[in-house]
Amino acid sequence: MKDNLIITIAGGGSTYTPGIVSALLSNSSKFPITEMRLYDINPKRNEDMKLIINQLLIDKDRQDMKLVVTENPEEAFTNVDFVFSQIRVGGLAMREQDEKIPLKYDLVGQETCGLGGFAYGLRSIGGILEIVGYVQQYAPDAWILNYTNPESIISEAIRRKYPDANMINVCDMTISLEETIASNFGYNRKNWIPTYYGLNHYGWYSKIYDTSLKRDVMPEIIDKLRQVNMDVAEFNEGDRYWAKTYQLMSAMVKYFPEALPNNYLEYYWFPDIMVENEDKNFTRANMVMEGREANTRKMAEQIRNGETEDILHFNFGEHGNYIVDIAVAILNDEPKRFMVITPNKGSIPNLRDDAVVEVPAYIGATGVEQLALHPINDFHKGMMEAQVAAEKLLVDAFFENSYDKALQAFTLNQTVPSARAAKQVLDDMLIANKDYWPELR
């Protein structure tokens, strides 16, 4: 095991950085970092995060760790061992547009789902390709562990341009969902071996084996969900947005009780309800700006003003732990089971091999070794095939600068009722994203 690790957090100014750093520090015996670099193209966010992470290192008595804060790619990525990517191209201001433009036409406005997710995808591809390009140039053997959304679209683009990059795409949403279910119904998630299949933010649990109870607990969870609404877990406490989300879980399993759905499927099964429940003038992006973003700026300002006692407050559940656990498994060659976003290659035998899916896999020193699953039912397969085709058309649009392919992708998205609506949103999105999207002709 290398004992002088250098890691870079791309998108270092993100409000999620303290959670990742806390997880890294908690795993110092198995992941001995000597240098941490925060890379961000926004100097103000980077400077704020430098203050917060410096204070965190003081609180954890880790002043021995070298902290580098930079907007220079060469300084950020040269000879790095691991890169944790969590960039948000366009920031929350563009997320607000992703949500509000579709809502103007009574369509789902959401960060990763629907046409907002597709707009975000077209922005994110360029940003993540740039990051991977830097890593290939300055540290080609480094592992890139990616949290950047929307991950199925990101993974498809990387697969095409950098097929040999040491990159693993993961999402913590399944862990958050499992934590919420376990805390509501008295289970211990650490005893679970879940079997899950789908696309990112678009899938189902077919089994949740509990090692302490020695049985599949998914049927009884579905039965409980059909009778009661869930409360949010501790890390989402007080968040009315997530409270509504978990209430709809009960409706989803009442309609389709054969499997446990990812909560994001509410946007595809109940787009009308989701639109009805939205405030078109104050969306999730506004909540984050006034909540997590404002709190982070306040913490940085307090440190800047000399306040250091008991000012660091953040609880992001397993977000930081999940990606760090993967890094530990790779570094120490301790294969462990995770949900990963990866080309199918037969994992789901009756789905096209080149679909980018989210499935269980073991991760160790050689990377991802995904599990072989059973064939899936026609309902789930049909939904996935349509979504896969739409995502591939969107990535085509990026690489081919094709307006026609973008319109096809927007029209095929399952939250969209007509090509007319797809075109209206696409044309508005073109204007809003003129500084971020490729030129579509």
Cis status, amide bond into 194, omega within 30 of 0: no
Active site annotation includes 172: yes
Tokens linked to 334:
């301790």
Per the CB < 8 A criterion, the answer to whether 219 and 379 are in contact is no
Alpha-carbon span 326 to 72, nearest angstrom: 27
Amino acid at 335: P
Per the CB < 8 A criterion, the answer to whether 172 and 233 are in contact is no
Other beta carbons within 10 angstroms of residue 107's beta carbon come to: 25
Per the CB < 8 A criterion, the answer to whether 339 and 170 are in contact is yes
Tokens linked to 72:
């220079």
Active site annotation includes 264: yes
**Residue-by-residue DSSP string for 315-350:** --TTHHHHHHHHHHHHHHT--EEEEEEEE-TTSSTT
Per the CB < 8 A criterion, the answer to whether 80 and 37 are in contact is yes
Q: Which of 17, 61, 64, 3 is nearest to 324 (CA)?
A: 17
Q: Residue 195 pairs with which residues in a beta bridge?
A: 207
CB-based burial of residue 378 (10 Å sphere; 0-12 exposed, 13-18 middle, 19+ buried)?
exposed
Residue tagged active-site, from 120, 147, 264, 268: 264
Per the CB < 8 A criterion, the answer to whether 60 and 18 are in contact is no
**Strand bridging mode 82-85 / 5-10:** parallel
Q: What interhelical angle do 114-138 and 403-412 show, nearest 10? A: 130
Tokens linked to 426:
């696409």
Residue tagged active-site, from 48, 81, 172, 428: 172
Alpha-carbon span 379 to 199, nearest angstrom: 14
CB-based burial of residue 391 (10 Å sphere; 0-12 exposed, 13-18 middle, 19+ buried)?
buried
Contacts of 401 (CB under 8 A, 6+ apart): 438, 439, 440, 441
Q: Which residues are catalytic?
A: 172, 264
